[in-house]
Structure 1
């Protein structure tokens, strides 16, 4: 649900800047909220290639999506008029003319921090960037260099990451939470986000949308593992998410001012999701505090549904959304109504952070190292972006 709400708004904003013209392609980076099957080709436990995943998809079979049906990016593509979805980059379908509609590099279990992906043996964000560079070469061979450059510039780039960095790494990793405060780790993730955006910009991207953190303390996974049997939201986690969201909005504002021609939108999805959890009946749900495997608490395996756990009528696991909530989001926050109502309805205090009309020119793109801009202002982190825990 959180992913769809955000990306619906992202599409509305970014496409309105282009006089509502459809984008030629969609390129996606991130974690399980936007992975369309890359993990099926990895040696990892984080896979959605078995029931009940996919039970409500068009072919009623698992597709590698961590959802009972369509993901946010799927519905976004349909909203923009696409008749097919950008393929998972590691799949056999990611070749030839299929690449003209984009590619999906996301990997469940990944995050901004490469160490998050390492814990699950999935594709880190840095490798997703390298795959994107490969994609550009392949695209040029299919469309020609000139056409490929145009496609890259006009493509819609989506980034969905961050929640796993906290829930599946920082909060359970003593090497992190004993050496770094939440504020320090949050700042580290923001630096990676900023460097990633600058890298995409250097590779030709000009239209980028990303989500903030959801109220992570209200996700069934957090309630079950960290809620101490109270089943309420973990308030400290939500506070951490809100602080992260302030930082990512500030980072977006800075990037907007630094990089000429960049259109970047960050949507703080914390409030609408928190409202859904607090008032599920308002959106047509009976239960919004549990996963939909077994009793919704401890029955899942590695926070995933499995073939024997059983599901409710609208299936979801402890960490991922279901298509039904995606469509509720579409009804409540559809693209046309968003365009008519204006960005202020959803952006509130973050409007200044994502106002793409405020562009300042700079003389050159910042120098990069190992795929990301070189950082020199944080003594706790090494120059290559890795963390120093000595």
Structure 2
């Protein structure tokens, strides 16, 4: 009897130990998986109103233009095949890719809506206006000179469109509701690539006025002014997406080489480094109370795909599915055939990534950065745990570990 009692005690202790080990293992697993689950949690929260994201607004260039240039007299258009061949319905909407572009993906991942429409030239419903639109224009940049050759909507022009949007929304729903939508919206700005690739390195005027570091300093100043004006117009949460590794775009690579063009990439890196400092400064100064600014790094996330294509299911890095020269993008490939195996390609045309590449990069950006813009501090004693929205990954990890530790203590004393 004594031996049986001892064996029972040992078995109970062993089972308790195994349960504790299992709980601890699950805790660590859950914490490690949390960044992957965060976008889903955000989408659900957005749907219930807990995250207080009213709408998504995007400013920028062809990376995010969903069709604002369609009726403009410009070479920077994409409202014709082969663009849009993988878009829902196979429609060429004006998006510079084979399918959706980052603005759509941000809106979708955040649980707002599946597609983010252009502000210009589309039959917008009230529901579209209430949940966000895009003001971006292919060919635009922070430098006012950049948009002129492309006859694009300049960054200043995009701010004017935003002002027009505010007035239109106010007339439809009243000032109080308009202000709520604006203040609870999340904003993204995506410019700078054209300033370098299609202006400084292509048109001689700016090179006569500035050496490269000075021009980057000018661009950074222009970008900060744009961000401050947007902030003063009511945008409180602004995600500032940096310049991608433009030297690795098929049309920008060194002629006859499979290597990325180093000078363009160095310029992009310098801009991203300097704008990060300015974003930190804006956060510290808080000229508009309640504002949040975040630098979002597209450079290294896209570069990772380019340097390790096989890891992400790509086979072709240096060529675009629609061609690789400066004449294999926008109006120049109207009705031209695309490659038959687009999913092997990182780049759709000679300058813009494929929907697959965009989707991978946007997922990375959300996992790494969104919490700094859209999450609120966690009340660690709140009954809403674990559905509460928190300030950062550390907040999540600490709260989860606290909760798992409580479970372990309960198990220990059970």
TM interval, short-chain normalised: 0.7 to 0.9
Structure showing the higher helix proportion among its residues: 2
Whether the 8 Å contact between 1:34 and 1:71 is mirrored in structure 2 is yes
Cα deviation code 1:125-182 (max 9, x no counterpart)? 1010011111111111112101111111011111010011000111011111122111
2:276 aligns with one of 222, 229, 249: 249
- Show the 5 A alignment for 1:123-202: 123-202=153-232
Whether the 8 Å contact between 1:41 and 1:91 is mirrored in structure 2 is yes
Partner of 1:311: 339
Q: Which runs of 5+ in 1 are unaligned?
A: 1-7, 344-355, 358-390
Rounded Cα–Cα distance in structure 2 between residues aligned with 1:301 and 1:324: 18
Rounded Cα–Cα distance in structure 1 between residues aligned with 2:331 and 2:108: 29
Whether the 8 Å contact between 1:304 and 1:319 is mirrored in structure 2 is no
Q: Which runs of 5+ in 2 are unaligned?
A: 1-34, 373-390, 393-414
2:361 aligns with one of 305, 329, 332: 329
SS state at 2:271 partner: helix
Cα deviation code 1:18-39 (max 9, x no counterpart)? 9961511111100001101000
Describe the shift of the 1:278–1:170 C-alpha distance in structure 2 as closer, same or farther (beyond 3 A). Answer: same
Partner of 2:322: 293
What is the TM-score with the length of structure 2 in the denominator? Answer: 0.73
State yes or no: 1:99 paired with 2:126.
Answer: no
C-alpha root-mean-square deviation of aligned residues, in Å? Answer: 2.8
Whether the 8 Å contact between 1:211 and 1:267 is mirrored in structure 2 is yes
Describe the shift of the 1:121–1:242 C-alpha distance in structure 2 as closer, same or farther (beyond 3 A). Answer: same
Rounded Cα–Cα distance in structure 2 between residues aligned with 1:312 and 1:297: 19
SS state at 1:324 partner: helix
Please report how far the alpha carbon of residue 306 of structure 1 lies from its aligned counterpart in structure 2 after TM superposition: 2.9
1:31 aligns with one of 43, 61, 77: 61
Partner of 1:275: 304
Whether the 8 Å contact between 1:220 and 1:290 is mirrored in structure 2 is yes
Would you say how many aligned residue pairs link Structure 1 and Structure 2? Answer: 328
Structure index of larger Rg: 2
Rounded Cα–Cα distance in structure 2 between residues aligned with 1:124 and 1:97: 27
Rounded Cα–Cα distance in structure 1 between residues aligned with 2:96 and 2:177: 33
Rounded Cα–Cα distance in structure 2 between residues aligned with 1:321 and 1:196: 26
- Show the 5 A alignment for 1:364-375: none
What is the TM-score with the length of structure 1 in the denominator? Answer: 0.77
Greater relative CO, 1 or 2 (CA 8 Å, sep 6+): 1
Whether the 8 Å contact between 2:283 and 2:291 is mirrored in structure 1 is yes
- Show the 5 A alignment for 1:47-126: 47-94=77-124, 96-126=126-156
